[in-house]
Chains A and B, each alone.
Chain A
Amino acid sequence: MSRVVFPARVLPYLLLSPQIAITAVFFYWPASQALWQSVLREDPFGLKTTFVGLANFRSVLADPNYLQSARVTVVFSVATALLAMAAALWLASAAERVVRGRGLYRTLLIWPYAVAPAVAGMLWLFMFNPAMGTFAYMLRRAGYNWDPLLDPGQAMTMVVVAAAWKQISYNFLFFVAAMQSIPRSLIEAAAIDGAGSTKRFWTIVLPLIAPTTFFLLVVNTVYAFFDTFGIIHAVTGGGPARATETLVYKVYNDGFVHLSLGSSAAQSVILMAIVILLTAIQFRFVERRVHYG
């Protein structure tokens, strides 16, 4: 790619300024506020403020609930990413085999991506809420003790399924694109050599889409970490007994419900560090190996 050089000195900065302004207002400013809050201890009204140094971080990291929340986040993220990717991969390989109406199937499968997380949460809540959900009644009538309000495992299953469902479309899109970029000749040659469709999938398709898979793994993990607040808020509110309280949800709960601002700020600074780390991994190992299109 040839390098384009602008002759003017001001123009490039001018062109960049809207983006920089947005980043400054919506990231640098709040982030610096969070950093400052995280070393303070304050009552909700801000009437008395004391500088406490790193005490908020110490108490957060020593809090068994925080470690429990970290465990919940790992279980939730791994389960959501695996489920969303496995289902999308299966659907993508199935869509590849469809001959007639392939475009229609693809469009239908991409639709759920347009649903807002909170709406997705409500959707699943209406189906599976023990007090009013249609499927909840069916499950109980069938003799299964369905009660995600009390059973931590069932609650976790519900948020994982809802969060994964929302992400399947995105993964599907990438898997379909990756599969299309595999040269037909390779697959045909394997077929002539006598490899069945399962064999072809495991020995040819899967290795060739590995970069996409790795890319999606990172994206899905980031999604499960940071973009699922709406779903958890709508479906379980972090309960029962904190069984679905992820790190992000805990920041909200401690800051906005319990008004413990210092602790909440310290937690969001830790989360910021995690995001930076994940983004670095993505740039360093993924961007170089994925080829779009």
Chain B
Amino acid sequence: MSLRTILAGTTGLSLVALASTPAFAVTELQWWHAMSGANNEVVDTLAKEFNDSQADYRIVPVFKGTYPETLNAGIAAFRAKQPPAIMQVFDVGTGVMMAAEGAMKPVAEVLEEGGYAFDKSQYLPGIVAYYSKPDGTMLSFPYNSSSPILFFNKDIFEKAGLDVANPPKTWSEVFEAARTIKSSGAAACGYTSTWLTWIHLENFAAWNNVSYGSNENGLAGPNVELALDAPIYVEHFQAIADLAKDGTFRYGGRTSEAKQLFLSGECGILTESSGGLGDIVKAGMNYGIGQLPFVEGEGRPQNTIPGGASLWVFGGLDDAQYKGVAEFFNFLSQTEIQVRLHQQSGYLPVTLAAYEATKASGFYEQNPGRETPITQMMGKAPTENSRGVRLANLPQVRDIANEEFEAMLAGSQDAETALKKLVERGNAAIREAVGSQ
């Protein structure tokens, strides 16, 4: 291992400057990521396999902390004119990245210049659409994608006299089942959910085919007026607020904290990312999987939008580096790599070939429920409401939503007030963010 590689881990920022001077025949490519624990091992394995497979390029993965920390590190490195080659950015950071035109190089271009015909039809449409510009150019490479699904505790369902073979499909059925669980004493709480914003706003809009905001939820342009105070949202959140009053619904926190309430047997039903499967399997509980609930209505459910993260390529690198990145992305989209990633980690496969191969291998028959997140996203061609949500400051709008939800669940305001305030404050924040660009 060269001194450069060793130092790269500790002082990544100052060293990338050296990377442009070709002191070695091997072109080094830094990959900043936010994957910890088991997922970090996957990243390291992938980098090692790629490095062993050829002699011209070296991928150097560097763990940069949580998703927001990684994004901030990348931004700081760009401002210091020493960016890495590849950076992993979480879904809600997509808008931030897209607004920074010129700082990034579209992945489609990188692949084409690297000599790989970029064929969009090989990739899962829902995922590609989310990471593409309105004109269809794919901007970033989907690395880990997930979609929200419903988990239920079979033991609690049986105790409450609910049908284990038929998990609730609509939101009103979920709320009814939650009340049954609570009133029968099968568990202290009926229903809880991680990520209220991602699941109950962004995916809720797509899945029920209702608008999140103007300008095709921001995909057609940055000036967005939020539509989150429409009656369908008010009714949905009022139902949750009512359930929260007697503890039938329990709030866990803004991100994935609520999973703990499900794992401990405190709550009987959970809506969570499909990526949360690992922990639930590890806990050894008797669980079942259902698709994300929807609101009864014509043509519903529509399709869900992906969460997770994608890989972005910085602008201003030299040709050899872009060639290397193209090689690496081509390596990542190989069917056997994608099949392994999908089956081991619970992330969605990125290419159709990997999905077909997993299907053919009988994996979904042996692991019922594992196909649900894919069929949810792929089932229908996306509409203008369901291609995703893109705001220049989605993290901030999510925080505003979380604040209003917390005040609502604490009983200090009703759902209508909470959503009205969310729209008002969110619109102001969006105007501010768009104005500063």
The answer to whether A binds B is yes
Residue of A nearest to B72 (CB): A256
Closest chain A CB from B189 CB (angstroms): 11
Closest chain A CB from B308 CB (angstroms): 19
Given the complex, which residues of A lie within 8 Å of B266, measured CB to CB?
131
Given the complex, which residues of A lie within 8 Å of B251, measured CB to CB?
147, 149-150
User: Is there a chain B Cβ closer than 8 Å to A43's Cβ?
Assistant: yes
Given the complex, which residues of B lie within 8 Å of A237, measured CB to CB?
254
Closest chain A CB from B32 CB (angstroms): 15
Residue of A nearest to B258 (CB): A131
Q: How large is the interface on A (under 10, 10 to 19, 20 to 34, 35 or more residues)?
A: 20 to 34
Closest chain A CB from B342 CB (angstroms): 30
Whether A47 lies near B102 (C-beta < 8 A) is yes
User: Is there a chain A Cβ closer than 8 Å to B407's Cβ?
Assistant: yes
User: Is there a chain A Cβ closer than 8 Å to B257's Cβ?
Assistant: yes
* Bound Cα distance A44, B260 (Å): 34
Whether A44 lies near B409 (C-beta < 8 A) is no
Q: Given A45-B78, A239-B403, A257-B399, are A149 and B253 neighbors across the interface (CB < 8 Å)?
A: yes
Whether A240 lies near B436 (C-beta < 8 A) is no
Q: What 0/1 readout, one digit per residue, does chain B (400-411) give for beta carbons within 8 Å of chain A?
A: 001110110110
User: Is there a chain B Cβ closer than 8 Å to A288's Cβ?
Assistant: no
Given the complex, which residues of B lie within 8 Å of A150, measured CB to CB?
251, 406, 409-410
User: Is there a chain A Cβ closer than 8 Å to B53's Cβ?
Assistant: no
Given the complex, which residues of A lie within 8 Å of B72, measured CB to CB?
256, 259
Q: Given A150-B410, A257-B395, are A46 and B79 neighbors across the interface (CB < 8 Å)?
A: yes
Closest chain A CB from B39 CB (angstroms): 22
Whether B96 lies near A44 (C-beta < 8 A) is yes
* Bound Cα distance A110, B75 (Å): 42
User: Is there a chain A Cβ closer than 8 Å to B265's Cβ?
Assistant: no
User: Is there a chain A Cβ closer than 8 Å to B437's Cβ?
Assistant: yes
User: Is there a chain A Cβ closer than 8 Å to B269's Cβ?
Assistant: no
| Contacts beyond the supplied A47-B100, A240-B410, A257-B68: 11 A-B pairs with Cβ under 8 Å | A47-B102, A47-B437, A48-B437, A131-B264, A149-B251, A149-B253, A256-B68, A258-B393, A258-B396, A259-B395, A260-B396
Q: List 23 A-B contacts (CB under 8 A).
A: A43-B100, A45-B100, A132-B260, A147-B251, A149-B251, A149-B253, A150-B406, A152-B410, A237-B254, A239-B402, A239-B406, A240-B407, A241-B407, A242-B403, A253-B399, A257-B395, A257-B396, A258-B393, A258-B399, A260-B396, A260-B432, A260-B433, A262-B436
